[in-house]
Amino acid sequence: MPRRDDINHVMVIGSGPIVIGQACEFDYSGTQACRVLRAEGIRVSLVNSNPATIMTDPEFADATYVEPITPEFVEQVIAAERPDALLATLGGQTALNTAVALHERGVLERYGVELIGADIEAIQRGEDRLKFKEIVQSVGGDVPRSAVCHSMDEVRAAVAELGLPVVIRPSFTMGGLGSGMAHTPEELDRLASAGLAASPVTEVLIEESVLGWKEYELELMRDRHDNVVVVCSIENLDPMGVHTGDSITVAPAMTLTDREYQHMRDVGIAVLRAVGVDTGGCNIQFAVHPKTGRLVVIEMNPRVSRSSALASKATGFPIAKIAAKLAIGYTLDEIRNDITGETPAAFEPTLDYVVVKVPRFAFEKFPGADPELTTTMKSVGEAMALGRSFGEALGKALRSMETGTAGFWTVPDPDEEPDVATPTDGRIYAVERALRGGRSVEDVARESGIDPWFVDQIAAFVELRAEILAAPVLDADLLRRAKRAGLSDRQLAALRPEFAGEDGVRSLRHRLGIRPVYKTVDTCAAEFAAKTPYHYSAYETDPAAESEIAPQTEKPKVIILGSGPNRIGQGIEFDYSCVHAVMALREAGFETVMVNCNPETVSTDYDTADRLYFEPLTFEDVLEVIHAEQASGTVAGVIVQLGGQTPLGLAQRLTAAGVPVVGTSAAAIDLAEDRGEFGELLRTAGLPAPEFGMATSFEEAKAIAARIGYPVLVRPSYVLGGRGMEIVYDDETLAGYISRATTISEDRPVLVDRFLDDAIEIDVDALCDGHEVFIGGVMEHIEEAGVHSGDSSCALPPITLGRTVLEKVRRSTEALAHGIGVRGLLNVQYALHGDTLYVLEANPRASRTVPFVSKATAVPLAKAAARIALGATIAELRAEGMLPATGDGGDLPLDGPVAVKEAVLPFHRFRTRDGEGLDSLLGPEMKSTGEVMGFDASFGAAFAKSQAAAYGSLPTSGRVFVSIADRDKRAMVFPVLRLAALGFEVLATEGTAEVLRRHGLEVTVVRKASEGGGPGQETVLDRIKAGEVDLIINTPYGNSGPRVDGYEIRAAAVAHGVPCITTMAGASAAVQGIEAMIAGKIGVRSLQDAHAVLRKARS
Amino acid sequence: MTAVLVLEDGRIFRGQAYGATGTALGEAVFTTGMTGYQETLTDPSYHGQIVVQTAPMIGNTGWNDEDDESRGIQVAGYAVRDPARIPSNWRSRRSLEEALTEQGIVAIAGIDTRAVVRHLRERGAMRAGVFSGPDLADDAELVERVLASPRMEGADLYGAVTTKEPYVVPAAGEKRFVVAAIDVGIKFNTPRMMAQRGIETHVLPADSPFDAITELNPDGVFIANGPGDPATADKPVALVRQALEADLPVFGICFGNQILARALGRGTYKMRYGHRGINIPVVELDTGRVAITSQNHGFAVEGEAGEEWDTPYGRARVTHVCPNDGCVEGVALFSGRAFSVQYHPEAAAGPHDAAGLFDQFAQLMEGGR
């Protein structure tokens, strides 16, 4: 059955900004889909608001719309593009929801667009809990038993049948409100009566709890010929009760017999057919009772998911790519398996290795958030590792985390008793400690719900540890066994102090010739020869063990180090730059080698680089890859400056080990990071920087603050990315900060910088080849300095900076680039305070904004940086056409299109232990997970788009609530008056209302929460909760200590999804956006169109 | 304790003794199934073979009392990378190692199994030995012992696994059909799946005379899977020819496919390394549909997709092929009176995609009344 000939134009919807639960796996899947469709000669139009994605690179679609993924905007794109079909199963829940909304609005029908992949009915059957249960039962599958109850008597009768614990789900409440789990009759009474009361129809669903059951997932694919294959089975180490995204997961399933596995497969296939996913991938989740083997179906996703990305990387079977081919009519047997080159995709991959995925959390960024893992996903990223055993893969995955803890025993044990019963980030460490403390495998397994087989695997580590500690010397046999078990040199060094660190272990290991072999991910357990060099390392003790690295082609090799697991501050943007480096260097005639451990990314697609090593980005693992590659040919260079802080942090040690790090040298990187040397550079160049000092006590800090003046920015000296940074306005809060900074010491002082209140922050990305500096873009932040640049929205070209300032920015950037010795990318952050341009920091590496700038200016900065690192000059790149022939991003036409970047924040994912929302206040510590871009002719329209893309639209009418700190009251007047003129009703707290009244504005006063409510005296919280507020402008006083009202307002806004603006600059931008929306429909335009205009303006 | 896996071409892998110690000689083959080691080890088709398991962690679910596919472990030897330290499954009764030791199966653990597989893939399945304990010797000596062992080509092995006495597996529920099953290595799940379809299965020794079949007045004849070179199975081939002459419905699986093909005049050949796994696609040529199948064969029927030929029993054709390599996976008479497949619709281990073939057999017998 060849591909359908009636589809010539497909629209693909992406997943928008990176948020918790929906990350760059959809860039990977969407990019694959676009590639496949275009290779078939199909026109592809794409909608995705996320500029940091590879898929929104103009070369991946025929028409790329970086526009908000809302039904309104997508409809406009459909009207402009008139596609034949819509493929919405590769852009996560966002794309699927948008497709359903477009269907419900009749848009698809009106424009004659066919939904391919999964039809509306199948999507709805998969998503409707009750309908889905019926389907499962209709094909003979089992589901958790449940009963619909309307009274407490019915509830008790149901529980008598089901047994405690039970899950209570009130019907028709928003966002799971009132649902919970009852373990005792008392809890049942309380929760069920509250649930009945909360339900508008006095109805609750009482469901059998599967908490603590074993959890599995199957990834399936079906073609239009009804052929079905299971691509991968995944077993969760953490039992039911922890979201699969937050669980340690293992592929393939480890603890099922064939009989049980085949039963699961049969049920999965039957459910897939009954739900009616016609073509493409789907994911089904199962729970298995550990004592009886009873198998129940929990849910299914009728689309490509995070697990599909994991399964693709785990098996080498590219689910998204195949799903795209199936959607246009191919059948599985017609599609070739790329890896073997000769067998078809109609088969089930088999693994001769074990894959472990470990989630990466960011609880440290959200103080107050409850760290217990639940069914709401909270992790921000993940790392995957492959090994020849579970232990080896687990060890590699744990050391891929980059949290400071790099596997067992690498940090001192905490004081408290290990708690294995509560699922938390790092429970696996508690399991190890519990076993080490003498508890039995059975005991730990029972208490944690983790299968004894897994617990025993940890026990093996504990036994090996004892053996290593007791051995008189670490001999070759023991060392070899330890490496095979998955221990890193660092772990061994922690156990054997005589090595004085991992370098000592490594030199012994190399002396003994103990090195890893590299195996291949080939979908078939070596049954067929693999054409794609997708490798992972493993240690073998068998002297006949083989490494499978192909000899080099005649091209010189370049190794690009990726960025590891996504985390706040280091995400998809860095993967974008790495992928661009691969593309540019391949084109320039190099053989590219990628090293990374993030399964969500495009960089870890076996199609991206010529060779892929799925490995942790630790010094040890990277060095071994380089050694293996050097053994098979010549390595021309290793690129560390594109993957963010992770590879950059390896630069010095790699250089010291004789590795040819290309681009900006390790010494130059060090210069930029060393405050003393960097300060000297600034002084020499005559560039001002905020005054600062270093303190090891409150007294010292106070003295510095007195010298440089409040407010001051305080932070620990040894962390990056804004960790632990605060702005402090007085001695009292300074004292509070110092007392909380427990690790303060002589070698770990606190940095106290002058904070430039009300300064305009400016971000610059630039290239330097040693001769010339090319300004990529100058971004003006919308929020004032003090909000982390990653959380701040910004505009490109700058919207209020004059020519003189821009000239100053250029000269300063040039001085810095040359002074540091940059060969590649440089990011500089400036603060414009009065007429003075202060240098805040300079980072000689790719920044988060590189993809945004590249898309806004049509210049591929990361590609150029990679070329410069390998010796090309800016002049050559201009001649080649990679860079514009003349001019740069610093002299963009100021009347050209404006791009606005907005950050997306994850506050709504978290709750305090009491179940309250978290404060959404922005500060110097970065909290956002992703970003969107609004692109339009005017700033107002671009800003409005950025808001629509990030949070849903700004309101164009309704009520605005205003509560403003005294220092902002002057700035408040104009924007609030404007909102009133646009028809908004203004609510304000007493003090704010007073000022507004003096400007002749009718204002409704609402009570602060702290003033207390009462009958007829609603507080602002009551009104927010009642859905009576459409927009909130709330600037906080000060920046430290408890500010109860502000916190509660912002938390309520987060909980109820009301747009909440916390700076006056943001408020002014929002007003412009609202005006643009009211003034007329904001249109859409493809990036290709906008870029053509930009290029024309330049030539 | 050290153990070595020695291949006849002199390649040697060193690991630890696992299960019983001593010597295991046989043909080294690899299987790619990630589940179902218990079914695999007890599958009579593996008789005389040293099975290399590509799945690296083996024994996780222990050994239970329900999943054996024959009276005991059939493999000559077993090679794995990482055995489980403890079994974990609610049905487990003992560990895999206990089962191996109890049944005297010499195994090896800790070797680079992937390197073995790549070697066999390139050089083909070959004779091998696992040696441990008192049977260890210097490498050259061990290679000599391997070279002294018989080859798989020409090996007549089904006689070693066939039942000595006939036995009956009753139908589950109402008895609708009687089938005479020629046991050249039948698995327990085959009569079980027949029973679910109302079939009473009479399992007969492989060298039974045709009279033993006619005495039963069966509705159909079944030829099982089994070990060894089908070119040696002249007696079963003769038996099937008699069944065809008597116009009895015939259904064969695996070795049975090769026997039916030979009865229909086709030859068989030894494959380089065979098909052993539970993920193998098979295309049904009539419909183009793909089934994911369980397979275990080192020999195959000559031919290719689309071939048809005349036989004394009517025109015959190739019905199924494996899209991986074009290997014949099924043959049938156009009349539909006899059909067979190279793969395992009874699965165990493996997917159940092809279970419908048993229904097809039942329908065929139904139509014959």
pLDDT digits 0-9 by tens, A657-670: 999 999 999 999 99
Distance CA A49, CA A66 (A): 5
Q: Which helix (H) or strand (E) holds A505?
A: helix A502-511
- pLDDT of residue B52 exceeding 90, the answer is yes
Rounded to whole angstroms, the Cα distance separating B67 from B90 reads 13
Looking at the partner chain, which of B36, B66, B281 has a beta carbon nearest the beta carbon of A347? B281
Q: CA A635, A638, A639: angle at the middle one, nearest 5?
A: 150
Which residues from A are below 8 Å from B324, CB to CB?
Answer: 342-344, 347, 528
What is the C-alpha separation between A1067 and A972, in angstroms, rounded? 8
pLDDT score for A1040? 41
pLDDT tens column, A653-712: 999 999 999 999 999 999 998 888 999 999 999 999 999 888 888 899 999 999 998 888
Taking the alpha carbons of A197, A201, A207, A209 in that order, is the dihedral positive or negative? negative
Interchain proximity B112–A292, CB inside 8 Å: no
Say whether B13 and A542 touch across the interface (CB within 8 A).
Answer: yes
| Residues 66-125, chain B, touching A (beta carbon < 8 A) | 66-67, 81-82, 84-91, 110-115, 117-118, 121
Could you report the predicted ipTM of this complex, rounded to two decimals? 0.98
Domains of chain B: 2-147 (3.50.30.20), 158-367 (3.40.50.880)
Name which of A292, A527, A542 is nearest B121 (Cβ-Cβ): A527
pLDDT digits (tens, 9 = 90+) for A629-655: 999 889 999 999 999 999 999 999 999
- Residue A368: per-residue pLDDT: 79
Question: A714 CA to chain B: closest CA distance, Å?
Answer: 51
Band (pLDDT 50/70/90 cuts) for residue A1039 is very low
Q: Which residue of A290, A342, A540 is in closest CB contact with B112?
A: A540
- Average pLDDT of span A719-726: 66
In the prediction, which pLDDT does A1041 show? 38
For the question of residue B308 being annotated catalytic, the response is no
Q: What is the structure's pLDDT at A194?
A: 84
Percentage of chain A lying above the pLDDT 90 cut: 69
pLDDT at A637: 96
pLDDT in tens, A836-864: 999 999 999 999 999 999 999 999 999 99
Q: For position B369, what pLDDT does the model report?
A: 61
Pairing of strands B106-109, B12-19: antiparallel
Kindly report the average pLDDT of chain A as a whole number: 91
B 274-333: CB under 8 A from A:
277-281, 283, 288-290, 292, 323-324
More confidently predicted of A1 and B315:
B315
Task: Determine contact, residues A69/A43, Cβ cutoff 8 Å.
Answer: no
Q: Which residue has the higher pLDDT, A757 or A255?
A: A255
**Cβ contact, residue pair B112, A452, below 8 Å:** no
Distant-in-sequence, close-in-space partners of B5: CB < 8 Å, separation ≥ 6: B12, B13, B15, B28, B50, B79, B108, B111, B116, B128, B129, B130
Enumerate the residues of chain B whose CB falls inside 8 A of the CB of residue A460.
85
Whether B34 and A542 lie within 8 Å, measured CB to CB: no
C-alpha distance from A269 to closest chain B C-alpha (Å):
10
Mean pLDDT, range A15-44, rounded to an integer: 93
The H-assigned helical ranges of B166-325 are: 189-196, 210-214, 234-245, 255-263
Verify whether the Cβ–Cβ distance B89 to A262 is below 8 Å.
Answer: no
Q: Is the pLDDT of residue A793 over 50?
A: yes
CA–CA gap between residue A98 and residue A74 (Å, rounded): 8
pLDDT tens column, A381-426: 999 999 999 999 999 999 999 888 999 999 999 999 999 999 999 9
Distance separating alpha carbons of residues A172 and A1027, to the nearest angstrom: 17
Among A612, A743, A21, A76, residue whose Cα is nearest residue A374: A21
What's the mean pLDDT in A426-454? 97
Residue A59 is classified by DSSP as: G
B22 is in an annotated binding site: no
Domains of chain A: 9-118 (3.40.50.20), 145-208 (3.30.1490.20), 214-302+305-349 (3.30.470.20), 384-514 (1.10.1030.10), 530-660 (3.40.50.20), 672-686+757-896 (3.30.470.20), 692-754 (3.30.1490.20), 903-1079 (3.40.50.1380)
Q: Which of B4, B13, B35, B65 to mutate to test the interface with A (most CBs of A within 10 A)?
A: B35
Is A1013 a residue whose pLDDT tops 80? no
Q: Is B344 labeled as catalytic in the residue annotation?
A: yes
Where does the pLDDT of residue A721 fall: very low under 50, low under 70, confident under 90, or very high at 90 and above?
A: low
Contacts of A225 in chain B (CB under 8 A): 288-290
Asked if the model's pLDDT at residue A868 lies above 90, the reply is yes
Q: How many residues does chain A have?
A: 1099
- A966 — pLDDT class (breaks 50, 70, 90): confident
Alpha-carbon distance B369 to nearest alpha carbon in chain A (angstroms): 33
Are the Cβ atoms of A347 and B280 closer than 8 angstroms? yes
Q: Is B36's CB within 8 Å of A292's CB?
A: no
Residues 6+ apart with CB under 8 A from B148: none
Res. A173: pLDDT tops 70: no
Over residues A552-567, the pLDDT tens digits come to: 778 999 999 999 999 9
Active site residue B254: yes
Non-local (6+) Cβ contacts of A737 within 8 A are A714, A726, A728, A750, A1040
**pLDDT score for A790:** 86
pLDDT value, residue A107 = 97
Closest CA relative to residue A564, chosen from A645, A626, A486: A645
Q: Give the pLDDT band (50/70/90) at residue B340.
A: very high
pTM (2 decimals)? 0.94
Residues of A in contact with B61 (CB under 8 A): 255-257
Tell me the pLDDT tens digit for each residue of A815-842.
999 999 999 999 999 999 989 999 999 9
pLDDT value for A1061: 86
Give the confidence band of A723 by pLDDT, cuts at 50, 70, 90: low
Point out the catalytic residue in the list B254, B275, B322, B327: B254
Q: Is B255 annotated as a binding residue?
A: yes
- How many CB pairs below 8 Å do chains A and B form together? 178
Q: What pLDDT, on the 0 to 100 scale, is given for residue A717?
A: 66
Query: Are A926 and A965 contacting, i.e. CB atoms less than 8 angstroms apart?
Result: no
pLDDT, mean of residues B106-110: 98
Lowest mean pLDDT among A416-430, A1005-1019, B328-342: A1005-1019
Q: Which range scores top for mean pLDDT: A922-926, A1033-1037, B273-277?
A: B273-277
Per residue in B199-239, pLDDT tens? 999 999 999 999 999 999 999 999 999 999 999 999 999 99
Helix (H) or strand (E) holding A392: helix A390-399
**A789 annotated ligand-binding residue:** yes
Mean pLDDT computed over A759-778:
96
Tell me the shortest Cα–Cα distance from A2 to chain B, in angstroms: 12
Asked whether the predicted pLDDT for residue A1042 surpasses 50, the reply is no
Strands of A43-47's sheet in order across: A63-65, A43-47, A9-13, A85-87, A114-116
